[in-house]
Structure 1
């Protein structure tokens, strides 16, 4: 899935949000609901990327999707943080 990050950024970010939400709640929810759950748990510096992905999901067709350079630069650190949280939660449940 991470290999798809450069060309399917929105979907990968929202899928990671769903993974974290499912591990945290035991419930599978829609992508936008998962984003809301994760946004409430992220440090402020990691929120803009997911907020933008959520907004694209709700309002924009894939063909019309564009990412500002400033947000593209924040994708890697956001993914690193979310993966850290997923691993941490997974380890506590294992």
Structure 2
């Protein structure tokens, strides 16, 4: 199970990759599918074992659970698992 320090490290990494960028496409599938395209990431931070991504007027919460993880892929790179298994997909349109 990922510990709190892992979530803080993930948040710090995602902050450098996403903060200030507008999403070319994106989706969050839980509890129901939400289209995130066109939203700008204003902040990424951790609170305990929860990861928060502030998107314009929305706040996206992620919890790694028992076996969760975040992955970064360059355009065209093969995914470790099927994209359909990802609960959240964020694409800035950059490599």
- So what's the TM-score if we normalise by structure 2? 0.32
Structure with greater proportional helix content: 1
